[in-house]
Chain A
Amino acid sequence: MSQQKERSPHGHQGSKGPMGPGMAVAGEKAKDFKGTLRRLLGYLKPSRTSLIIVFFMAILGTLFSIVSPKIMGKATTKLFEGLMNMMNGVPGAGIDFGYIWNILMILVVLYVFSALFMYVQQYVMAGIAQRVVYDLREQINRKLARLPLSYYDRQPHGEMLSRVTNDVDNISTTLQQSLSQLITSVITIIGIIIMMLTISPLLTLITLVTLPLSIIATKNIAGRSQKHFKNQQDSLGELNAHVEEMYTGHQIVKAFGREEKSLQKFDEVNDRLYDAGWRAQFMSGMIMPLMSFVSNIGYVLVCVVGGVLVTNRTIQIGDIQAFIQYTRQFSQPLAQAANIANLIQSTIASAERVFEVLDEEEERPDSDKVKQLASPRGAIVFDHVQFGYKPDALLMTDMNVQVQPGQTVAIVGPTGAGKTTLINLLMRFYELNGGQITIDGVPIHEMKRAELRSLFGMVLQDTWLFNGTIRDNIAYGRVGASEDEIIRAAKAAHADHFIRTLPEGYDTVLNEEASNISQGQKQLLTIARAILADPKILILDEATSSVDTRTEVHIQKAMSTLMNGRTSFVIAHRLSTIRDADLILVMNKGSVIEQGTHEQLLERDGFYAGLYNSQFADEGQAV
C-alpha cells in the first residue's frame, strides 16, 4: 500500500491519447505477431461452437442487410414505372400495389432477422470475450503466486499492474468489438461490391475509383498529424510532471519563493501544448470532411451517371436508390477495417506483454523429499553462503554465522549495506549461489517454502497493511484466529488502546493508503500481526524515525515482548539493542564484514568501532 498515486500515467492506458480521437494510434508493434496471435487464438478454442454460431450469425445478418437495398430499389422502380405509365396515359395503368406490398413485407422480414442475428452474435460474443479474459486473468493470478521474488524486485509495480489490468482489458475490448466487427466489415465490403456489380458494373467502377482517393487523403493527413499528436503527448507528459512536482513540493515552492519561476515554466510548456494540440486536433478534424467529400463525389457521380443510364433504360430508377445506399454504407466498414487493423496490432502487443509474464521463469519447486521440523528450536547456521543478485557479481562470497536458539542478533551498518538481503535469504525469497542455510540442522532448501516461512515472523519498517478492517489485518497473521486471540495479540502489541479510541474500533476499515492511522500505529498493528502468528524466529526492523517518542516506547515494549524466547534478527538502530545483542552482524556493501559481541567488536577496533565512536563523539559537541 505504499503506492500513493491512483492515476499515475503508467503504461499505455492513454493509448487513445487524453485528447482527441484515437485516430491512427502509432501501433506498438508485437515482436512475434504470428506466434502471439496463434497463442491468443488458442484461448478461443474452448468456445469453438459458440464462435461458429457467432460467425454464421454475422454472415447471415450482414447478408440480409446487404440484400435489402436492392430489393427496396425494386419497389421504387415499380412505383416509378407505374407512374411513368400513368403519365404516358397507358390505359388501365396504375401503381402495382400488390407487388410493392409484397416487397415491403419481404423487407420487413429481412430487416427483423438481420437485427436478430446481429443481436445474437453480439450477445454470444460477450460471453466468449469475457470468458477468455477471465481465463487469462486466472492464469496470471496463478502465475503471480509462483514467480520468484527477484522478479517482483526487478519489475516496476506500475508496469506489472498495467499488464494485469490494462493489457488484459485491451484484449477484452478487441475480442468483444473488433473481432465481430472485422468479420462483418469484410463481409459487408465484399457483399456490397457483388451487389453493386449485379446492378451496374459501370457505376461500381465509378464508386470504386473514389476509394483510393479517400485512402490517400486519410493516409496523408494521418501521417502529418502523427507528428503533432506525438508532440502533444510529449508536452502533456511534461506539463503533468511539472504540475505534479510543483503541487507535491508546494511548501518548498512557497518557502523559497519559487512561484514565479514555476509559473514561467508552466506557461512555456502550456504554450507548446497548445501549439501541438490545436494542430493535431485540426488535422484529425480534417479527415471527416475530406472523407465525406470523397463520398459525396461518389454520390453525385452515381446520381448523374445513374440518371443518364436510366434515361438510356440501361438500369432502373430503383437501382440508383439502392446504389446511393450502397455507397453510403461502403465507406463505414472500410474505415472500420483500417481502424481494426490498428487495434489488432496493439492488442497483439498487449497479449505479448501478458504472455511474457506467463512465460517468466518460476520459483524452483519445493523439493520432493521435504524434511520437516518436529519441534523447531530456532538454531540457524549460515554455512559458507555465497550470494549475489546477479550470479556474476557476488556480494557474499563465504559467509558463516551461527545463531543459537533464543539468541538476539543485531544487524548494523549504513543504509544500503544489504540488511534486507539477509532477510531475503533467510526466508528463501532468493536462492543461494552456494553453501547453505540450516535451521535446526535442516537445510532450508530441503524444506517446504510454506513450512519454512511459517517459522518466521516479520515486522518491517515498510508496514504493509491492506484495505480492510483492523481485525482482518491482524488476523492476517494466522488463518482462523479467534476474536479472543486477536484482541490478546493487540493487547500484547500495545495496540488495543488506540484501536478502541478509533470510532469503529476493530471494525475500522483502513483506507487505501492506510492514511487514517499514523505510521506508528501501523507499526503496532504489524507487531500484533506477528504476535498472533507466534513464530519461532523473528525478523524486526527497529527503524521508527517517523514515530514520536512515546509511541516509540510502546513499540519498543511490544517488540521486547515479542522477542522473548525467540530467535530474533533485529535491524538495529538503538544503541541499547545493539549492546544487549548476543551477536552483532556488521554489514557493509552487501556482506557481513564483522561479527561478534559489542565488546569483542570494540576491541577489534574496526568498522563497528568507528560507527560506535562517532556516535559518542556527537555526545560531546552536539549543536
Chain B
Amino acid sequence: MMKLIRFLKAYRLPTAIVLALVFIQTLSELYLPTLMADIVDTGIVTGDVNYIWKMGGLMLLIAAGGMLCAIGASYWSSKVAVGFGKDLRANVFQHVENFSLQEFDKVGTSSLITRTTNDINQVQQVLVMILRIMVMAPIMCIGGIIMAVSKDGPLTMVLAVGLPVLALVIFFIARKGIPLFKAMQVKLDKLNLVVREGLTGIRVVRAFNRVEHEQKRFEEASRDLTDTGIKVNRIMALLMPVMMLVMNLTTIAIIAFGSLRIESGSMQVGDLMAFIQYAMQIMFSLVMLSLVFVLIPRASASAARINEVLDMKPELKDAEQPKSVDTGKKGYLEFDQVTFRYPGAEEAALSDISFQARPGEVTAIIGGTGSGKSTLMNLIPRFYDVSEGAIRLGGVDVRELEQGDLRHKIGLVPQKAVLFSGTVAENIRHGKDEATDEEVRHAAVVAQASDFIESMGEGYETMVSQGGTNLSGGQKQRLSIARALVRRPDVYLFDDSFSALDFKTDAMLRAALKQETKEATLIIIAQRVSTVMDADQIIVLNDGKIASIGTHKELLKSSEVYQEIVASQLTEEEIA
C-alpha cells in the first residue's frame, strides 16, 4: 500500500487541503458541546436568556462552517482519490502494453486483467475511505480527549478504562470473525464452482446418469456454506450489543463519578453533559477506525498485486540505434543456430535451429505438440528474444531493428483467431490503418471471407462483438487472414491457421493465397500433411530440434518422424 503512495504526489496540494479542511471541521464538531456547556452553566444557571440565544447563534455559525469544510473536503478528496485511481490505472495499462509475451506468461492474462481493473478499484475505494474517515477519526479521538481533559482532568480516568475495553472488544470479535468471513468466501467460491461445473457439463452429467451425484455435491457445498454462515453471523451478532453496552456503561460511570466531582465543586453540570458527549465522540471515532482496519488488509493485498505488475520490467528493449533492413534482401529470413529457453526452464524449447526462407518460397513446419512450432514462430516478430544464435530479417538481426518497424514487415495469422470489437472493416484495417475500401475488399476476397461478409446484415460495417463471439471459428480465421493480407508484408506467418476451415474452403483459400503472396516469404505451421505437401521446404520439428528438412518427396524417403506423421493421416494411395 505504502509504495503506491507515490501516485499521490501529484495531488500533494489537494491532499493538504483535505487534511486542513477535515481538521477544521473536526474542531467545529468538538467545539459545539463546549458551547452547550456554556449555555447550561452560564445561561441556564443565571437565567440569562439573551446569552442563551447568543450562544445558540454562535453554535449555528460554527456548525455551518463545519459543514462547508466537510463539503470542501469531500470535493477535494473525491478529486484526489478518483484522480489517483485514474493515474494508477493509466500507468499500469501503459506498462502492461509494453510487456512481451514473456511477462504475460509469468502473471497470466486473467490475473493481469483483474489487477488492472478490480484491484485498482479496490485501492481507490479504500483511499476514499481513508481520506474521509481515517483522517477524521484520529483527530476526533485526540481532539475529544483534549477537550475532555480540559473539562475535567480526573474524570478522564473513566475513559482510560472505557476506551481500552472497547478496543479489546472490537479486537477480539474481529479476530474471531474475520477468518470466518474469509472461510465463507472460500466456501462460496466452492459452491460457485460446483454450480458452474454442473451447468457447463450438463450433457455429460445427464449422459452418465450422475445427476444425483451432482446434487449431493451441491448439497454438501451448500450445507458447508450455511454452517459457516451461521457461525459468522452469530459471532458478529455480539459486536453491536457489546459495543453499545461498553459505551453506555462508560456514560453511567461518568455520571456517577461526575456527580462526586460536582458535589465537591470541582465541576459544573454543563461540563458534565459536554463530557458525556465527548466520550461518545471519542468512542465512535474508535469504532470508525476499526472499520478502516478491516478494509485495509483487503486493499493492501490488491496493492501488492498491482505493485508486482509495476515492478516487472519488460525484458525486450529496442536497440539504442536501430538499424533498417537491407532493401536488397527484403523478406529474406534466416535462423542462425537459434536456441531458445523459456525463463526458468531447464530444457531448451528450441535448440540449434538453422534454416533460411526466401521470398516466393513456402516453408512449412510440422511436428507434434511440444515440438516447439509455435515457439519458433513467436521468435520471428520478437515476442521473445532468442537465448543463443540470431534471427535475421533482410540481413539484419531482429534485435537491432525497431520493434514497430520489424512487425510492420510481418503478417501474422495466429492459431487462435483473435478479433476485436468493431466493424468487420475495422478489424481488417487493424492490419493497415490507411487501407482503402478497395484493399479491404480485396483482402477479404482472397481470404475467402467476402461471401459471408456480404451475406451479413450490414456487410463490412457489421459489428464484431468482443472476442468475435458472433462469428464461427472458420469465419474468424478467415477475417484474421484478411487482416494479415491487407498489410502486404514481406513475411507471412501462418500458425496452424486453416484448422477451423472445411476442406473445400481450405483448398480454395490456399489456391487464392498462392497468387496473392508470390513475392512474399511464407512460413506455415500445419497439422495436416495435405497442407504442407507442396511446400518448397518442410521442416520437421521434434522435441525442439530440427529432425529433418526437405520436400515432401525427400522426407518421405529419409525422415522417420515424417513418415510416422504421414502414416497417421493419409491412406496409402493419398501418400503416393
Contacts and interface: CB of A to CB of B under 8 A. Distances in A.
10 contacts: A4-B110, A18-B118, A72-B255, A80-B269, A161-B196, A248-B109, A293-B63, A415-B502, A549-B569, A575-B574
Given A138-B219, A460-B203, A466 B197 contact: yes
A619 B534 CA distance: 9
Contacts of B341: none
A127 interface: yes
Interface stretch (B88-96, B143-151, B157-165, B435-443): B88-96
Nearest to B124: A19
Given A165-B188, A251-B418, A256-B487, A79 B197 contact: no
Interface string A603-618: 0000000110011011
Contact of B233 (A126, A149, A263, A320): A126
Nearest 9 A/B pairs, CB to CB: A122-B237, A285-B74, A618-B507, A304-B56, A289-B70, A548-B369, A126-B233, A614-B504, A281-B78
B230 A149 contact: no
B248 A68 contact: yes
A273 interface: yes
A512 interface: yes
B306 interface: no
Contacts of A529: 208
A552 B568 contact: yes
Given A249-B418, A548-B369, A254 B273 contact: no
A483 B462 CA distance: 55
B451 to A, nearest CB: 13
B568 A477 contact: no
B215 A145 contact: yes
Interface string B462-494: 000011000011100000000100010000000
Given A548-B368, A549-B568, A618-B506, A429 B203 contact: yes
B251 interface: yes
Contacts of A169: 188
A108 B487 CA distance: 83
Interface residues of B, number: 166
A127 B215 CA distance: 23
B207 A278 contact: no
Contact of A95 (B83, B259, B568): B259
Contacts of B371: 548
Given A72-B251, A621-B507, A161 B195 contact: yes
Given A289-B70, A622-B510, A548 B527 contact: yes
Nearest to A519: B369
Interface stretch (B347-355, B385-393, B408-416): B408-416
B209 interface: yes
Nearest to A78: B259
A505 B326 CA distance: 54
A623 B407 contact: no
Interface stretch (A239-247, A342-350, A379-387): A239-247
B421 A245 contact: yes
Nearest to B192: A165
A467 B193 CA distance: 8
Contacts of A82: 263
A288 B70 contact: yes
A252 interface: yes
Given A72-B255, A247-B113, A311-B47, A141 B219 contact: yes
Given A104-B256, A458-B207, A611 B504 contact: yes
A430 to B, nearest CB: 11
Interface stretch (B1-9, B239-247, B293-301, B329-337): B239-247
A414 B501 CA distance: 9
B120 to A, nearest CB: 10
B211 interface: yes
Contacts of B527: 545, 548-549
Given A176-B233, A246-B97, A467-B197, A274 B533 contact: no
A129 B233 contact: yes
Contact of B226 (A108, A134, A266): A134
Interface stretch (B37-45, B317-325, B453-461): B37-45
Nearest to B370: A548
B449 interface: no
B241 A247 contact: no
A450 B522 CA distance: 54
A252 B414 contact: yes
A112 B568 contact: no
B210 A303 contact: no
Contact of B229 (A7, A84, A114, A172): A172
Which of A79, A130, A301: most chain B CB closer than 10 A?
Answer: A130
Nearest to B96: A247
B36 A303 contact: yes
Contacts of B510: 618, 621-623
A112 B90 contact: no
A585 B279 CA distance: 85
Interface string A64-88: 0100100010011001101110010
A3 B430 contact: no
A464 interface: yes
Interface in A7-47: 7, 18-20
A456 B110 contact: no
A421 B26 CA distance: 70
A476 B208 contact: yes
A393 B364 CA distance: 46
B559 interface: no
B206 A453 contact: yes
Contacts of B96: 247
B78 A278 contact: yes
A285 B132 contact: yes
A42 B105 CA distance: 52
A549 B249 contact: no
B53 A623 contact: no
B201 interface: yes
A18 B119 CA distance: 10
Nearest to B378: A251
A547 B568 CA distance: 13
A104 B252 contact: yes
Contacts of A141: 215, 218-219, 222
B269 A83 contact: yes
Interface string B32-60: 10011001100111011100110110011
Contacts of A321: 273, 276
Interface string A111-130: 11011101100110111011
A267 B240 CA distance: 45
Contacts of B219: 138, 141
Contact of A518 (B71, B245, B369, B404): B369
Contact of B74 (A112, A249, A289, A416): A289
Contacts of A165: 188, 191-192, 195
B556 interface: no
Contacts of A56: none
A118 B241 CA distance: 6
A623 to B, nearest CB: 4
A614 B255 contact: no
Interface string A88-108: 000000110100110010011
A550 B522 CA distance: 25
B86 A274 contact: yes
Contacts of A285: 71, 74-75, 77-78, 132
Contact of B242 (A75, A115, A262, A297): A115
A550 B520 CA distance: 32
B90 to A, nearest CB: 6
B291 interface: no
Interface in B92-112: 93-94, 96-101, 104, 109-110, 112
Interface string B57-86: 001100110110011001101110111011
B195 A623 contact: no
B368 A250 contact: no
Contacts of A172: 229
B381 interface: yes
A111 B237 contact: no
A83 B262 contact: yes
